[in-house]
Structure 1
């Protein structure tokens, strides 16, 4: 299975960095929209692709620009996740996820993906590493066999955590994709 990680475009919480990181549910800026429109011209998304999206406004907006007519699955299992994990770092308001109900109100066409795991309230941002790895493994297992290609629209920290889970070594914040960045990899089982 091929996995294509896509980082959302420039968000409203980054306009006056770092002073707006406590903005609740920031969306894409006009620059972010433009970045994703450009990406749409460069990265084909096919009917048979499975699209997973973080339950945040900026990632759902990214998905709707990239694949406006496609069914998207929204799950906290690809929601914001701090990287590196440090219990001394505060959680940021900009990384609060939508509830299932808020997702349905914001975009009624979204499919809320609930694998029966307890993560819709707090998300995965500060989740214990061992629990994150178990939950992320369950998501990857769910994906296997459903599609040959999975598109995951998420956040730098989350993408980096998944890349480590999938076997990459020695990743740092320098390996973040940045706005509208793309990283492709293949897995054969989990």
Structure 2
């Protein structure tokens, strides 16, 4: 299965970095919207693609621009994840995911992917590495049975965590994708 990881465009929480990282549910800025529109010209998303989106405003806005004709599935398993994990550091407000009921109410066109994981607002952000790997592998195995091409619209730390799970070595924060960045790989 081909996997295309896409990072959301420039978000409102980054306008006055780092002073707005506790902003709740930041959306895309004008710059972020432009970045995603430009990406759409270069990277078409097809109706048969499986599209997973993090249940945050900025990733959903990114998905809505990129994937007009594709079904979108929200799951906390692609939500924000701190990378590397620092249990002593607090989680940022910008990384809180929407409650499931709010996604259903705000975005009725998005389906909820029931992953077997309790839908909590902290999602996978602070999840133990072993638990994350177990859940993420189950998700990827399920996707493998559904599609030939998976598009995951997510966050820099989450994408880097999945890349490590898929076998890359020695990744650091310097390997983060830029805004509206794309990384392609395969999973068998």
TM-score, with length taken from structure 1: 0.97
Match of 1:73 in 2: 73
2:171 maps to 1:185: no
CA distance in 1, matches of 2:187, 2:139: 13
Matched residue, 2:157: 157
Partner of 2:62: 62
**Structure 1 moving runs of 4+ over 3 Å:** none
How large is the Cα RMSD of the aligned pairs? 0.8
Structure 1: give runs of 5+ residues left out of the alignment. Answer: none
| 2:85 match | 85
1:113-140, Cα deviation, whole Å (9 max, x unpaired) = 1122224343000000000000001111
CA distance in structure 2 between the partners assigned to 1:111 and 1:118 by the alignment: 16
- Paired residue for 2:140? 140
**Distance (Å, rounded) in 2 between the aligned partners of 1:163 and 1:115:** 20
1: CA distance between counterparts of 2:80 and 2:115? 18
CA distance in structure 2 between the aligned counterparts of 1:126 and 1:61, rounded to whole angstroms: 24
User: 1: distance between equivalents of 2:109 and 2:129?
Assistant: 32
Query: What secondary structure is seen at the aligned counterpart in 1 of 2:163?
Result: helix
| Structure 1 residue aligned with 2:169 | 169
State the 1:47 CA deviation. Answer: 1.5
Equivalent-residue separation in structure 1 for 2:156 and 2:81 (angstroms): 8
Question: How big is each residue's C-alpha offset from its partner over 1:34-74, in whole Å with a ceiling of 9 and x where there is no partner?
Answer: 00000000001112100000000000000000012321000
Aligned length in residues? 188
TM-score with structure 2 length normalisation? Answer: 0.98
Retained in 2: the 8 A contact 1:77–1:119?
no
Between stretches 114-123 and 152-161, larger displacement belongs to: 114-123
Distance in 1 between the 2:47 and 2:26 partners? 29
Q: How has the CA–CA distance of structure 1 residues 12 and 121 changed in structure 2, closer, same or farther, with 3 Å as cutoff?
A: closer
Query: 2:2: which partner in 1?
Result: 2
- The answer for unaligned runs of 5 or more in structure 2 is none
